[in-house]
Structure 1
Amino acid sequence: MKQYFLGVDVGGTKSHAVISDETGQVLGFGAGGTGNHEAVGFEGFSSVLDSVTRQALAMAGLEHQALTAIGMGIAGLDWPNDEPLHREVIERLGLHAPMTLVNDAVIGLIVGSRTGWGISVVAGTGSNCRGRDQNGREGRVSGVGHWSGEYGGGGDLVRRAMHSVTKAWVSRGPETILSPKFVEHVGAHDVMDLLEGLSRGRYHLHSSAVMVVFEAAREQDPVAIDALRWLGCELGSLAVGVVRQLHFEELSFDVVLTGSVYKGSPLIAESVGQTVHEVAPHATLVQLTAPPVVGAVMLAMEQAKINHIPLRDQLIQSSNRMLSNEGHMLKPSE
């Protein structure tokens, strides 16, 4: 009897659904916008989940009753009390197959690691870090950002760079080409106008301003380079915490680097590796190159006791082939 597995990646900017059979052949796909309840509420989560799931089922020619199991990686599923709230919504949509819900960082780990377990370190607009051992036990950070002392996202890098600009202006730190670059970026007259405008709300720096820091680092600005190395060390520190929680210190495992910030400079990944290797010398850093939603399909397969590791390449290739044909070439999560 055929088995069908639904994987869903409900992201902070985009969401995807994929249906596969037990051989790793992808049969259906759906795409939508953000479903993070922190941004769009649970009504928005419901709407996006319903849309992407219906698209995938229609393409596969299936009804939801045919699903063997479901795996979901959900942005905003951060705390134990979040899960029952999400399950209520999912039940109302008629999805009753056995399912596993995890934070969206976990599905990137499952598909990105060569073994299906290890640690994922996310560096996008914000940061996150999740780990999973061979038995499925998870380790984590809080995932709530800078007020908890967790840094590693693009916004953190911009703030760090602006600290240096301010220190240079008041003679507390060295001069840096970040100063004129940020002035130009926002259209300010000079550094004083930049700082006044930011403090009064006339100017705004978004996470996209990380490109200013990357550009300055490529021009060999020592302050910008130091900021990138700081960011990498902070991300590595998140991973070290999870290493200790899961007792990975003496193990060989993959650290999956996920997110657009890593694309900005190799210095970030280099610093992550240096920090992690001080505690876990046998860890291997790998970049996520597969669609995270495939990790959700693999998560669904685990419930049917299917060893998905031999199917990993087939799932990735089949997903990308279908998505390319549909004009939706799926990329690693940003």
Structure 2
Amino acid sequence: MSKVILGIDGGGTKTHACLVDLEGNILATAANGGANWERIGVAAVQKSLDEIIDAVCAEASVSRSDIVDSTCALAGVDWEEDKKLLAPVISALALDGKCQLINDSFAALFAGIPSGIGCVSIAGTGGKSAGRSTSGSVQTMGMELGEGGGAGQLVDTALDLIARAHHGTKEKTALYKELPAAVGFDDPVEFFTAVARGRVSLDETLAPLIFSLADQGDAGAIEVVTKVAQQHANDIQGVVQQLNFEGSTIELIRAGGLHTAANRVFDEVFEKWIKATLPNMHMQVLDVSPVFGAVMHAAHRYFGSVSQDFITNLTSAAKKVEI
């Protein structure tokens, strides 16, 4: 019988799975739609996970009984009651209890730091800041509860700013015209009316427009990007204050579209705020899929102590794989 380790990373819009052997060699990967129960419901998460496990097992020519340990790192797992809500889903995966459910931010952490000791700032469709030390782990609670919200927050902040510009309390910059135009409105009054009456909604797909305007020097867009970058930096400062990190350097993984877009304004503000209060923090942008961190997390559970050979095999192969 083959022995394999499974990692699953499920976000708001896509889910990735990866199977490796006990030496850390990648056997198969798979992808499908989102697995955030807050967005698609518990039943849809069950279907998504079942489908992706079937797909990755078929690709590797193994069965679920060959899986010796696994981690499901899912967006929306923010509270203990979320784990209880999804416990029947995990049980129904027929992995014989060899599966742990965690928030997807920790997959990104383990993907960038194989030991899982450090901090992670997620700024993608949504946002999450988390950290893990030898004494425990913490994570932020949600955008409605003081957390940086990634592209969603960026768009919400931009809407708030152009509304204030319409009221006359902020300057009308290019953002004031470009944001409504991006969703088909030339008349600001018609745009705001449609937003107020629920005929149009703005989503995270508008984030690249805001980043582009900031890069072009638009004062309104720069103000929006600055506010969101500062929020994400502040969240990391709060995480560090709650954890007892040993040693002189704290590792920070930056992941998600806002961190990987190489936007000058966002990067400069985020890094400046981090270095001002946490000068011993070493930052790096995640350059592999977080699903490999879910695999690493499961490997820690299975082996207790993961060998350097396993880490080297997995991390080197992960850089060559696109899912």
Cα distance change on mapping 1:203 and 1:84 into 2, 3 Å: closer
Distance 1:267 1:61 in 2: 47
Distance 2:210 2:282 in 1: 27
Distance 1:249 1:276 in 2: 18
Of 268, 271, 275, the residue aligned with 1:270 is: 268
TM-score norm. by structure 2 comes to: 0.90
Is the 2:7–2:292 Cα contact (8 Å) retained in structure 1?
A: yes
Is the 1:110–1:298 Cα contact (8 Å) retained in structure 2?
A: yes
Written as runs of structure 1 = structure 2, the 5 A alignment for 1:1-334 is 3-113=3-113, 115-134=115-134, 137-142=136-141, 144-145=142-143, 147-248=144-245, 251-262=248-259, 263=261, 265-303=263-301, 304-307=303-306, 310-319=309-318, 321=320, 329-330=322-323
* Offset from partner CA, 1:42-99 (integer Å, 9 cap, x none): 2212211111112222222222222221122112211112223323222223111533
Deviation for aligned residue 1:266: 2.7
SS of 2:78's partner is: coil
Cα distance change on mapping 1:55 and 1:319 into 2, 3 Å: farther
Moved more, 274-283 or 243-252: 243-252
Deviation for aligned residue 1:163: 2.4
Is the 2:107–2:291 Cα contact (8 Å) retained in structure 1?
A: yes
Cα distance change on mapping 1:311 and 1:211 into 2, 3 Å: same
Structure 2 spans left out of the alignment, 5+ residues? none
Distance 1:298 1:165 in 2: 44
SS of 2:278's partner is: coil
Deviation for aligned residue 1:292: 0.8
Amino acid at match of 2:279: P
Amino acid at match of 1:312: I
SS of 1:68's partner is: strand
Cα distance change on mapping 1:237 and 1:187 into 2, 3 Å: same
Distance 1:240 1:249 in 2: 16
Is the 2:215–2:264 Cα contact (8 Å) retained in structure 1?
A: no
Distance 1:13 1:185 in 2: 21
Distance 1:214 1:25 in 2: 38
Is the 1:243–1:249 Cα contact (8 Å) retained in structure 2?
A: no
Cα distance change on mapping 1:188 and 1:2 into 2, 3 Å: closer
TM-score norm. by structure 1 comes to: 0.88
Distance 1:310 1:273 in 2: 33
Is the 2:2–2:62 Cα contact (8 Å) retained in structure 1?
A: no
Distance 2:114 2:65 in 1: 32
Distance 1:310 1:58 in 2: 26
Cα distance change on mapping 1:45 and 1:162 into 2, 3 Å: closer
SS of 2:20's partner is: strand
Is the 1:250–1:282 Cα contact (8 Å) retained in structure 2?
A: no
Q: Which residue of 2 aligns with 1:326?
A: none
Amino acid at match of 1:127: G
Structure 1 spans left out of the alignment, 5+ residues? 324-328
Moved more, 224-233 or 269-278: 269-278
Moved more, 235-244 or 6-15: 6-15
Deviation for aligned residue 1:176: 1.2
Sequence identity (%): 27
Amino acid at match of 2:253: V
Is the 1:111–1:298 Cα contact (8 Å) retained in structure 2?
A: yes
* Offset from partner CA, 1:147-171 (integer Å, 9 cap, x none): 3232332121122222222222232
Amino acid at match of 1:7: G
Is the 1:105–1:129 Cα contact (8 Å) retained in structure 2?
A: yes
Instruction: Calculate the aligned-residue CA RMSD, in Å.
Output: 2.3
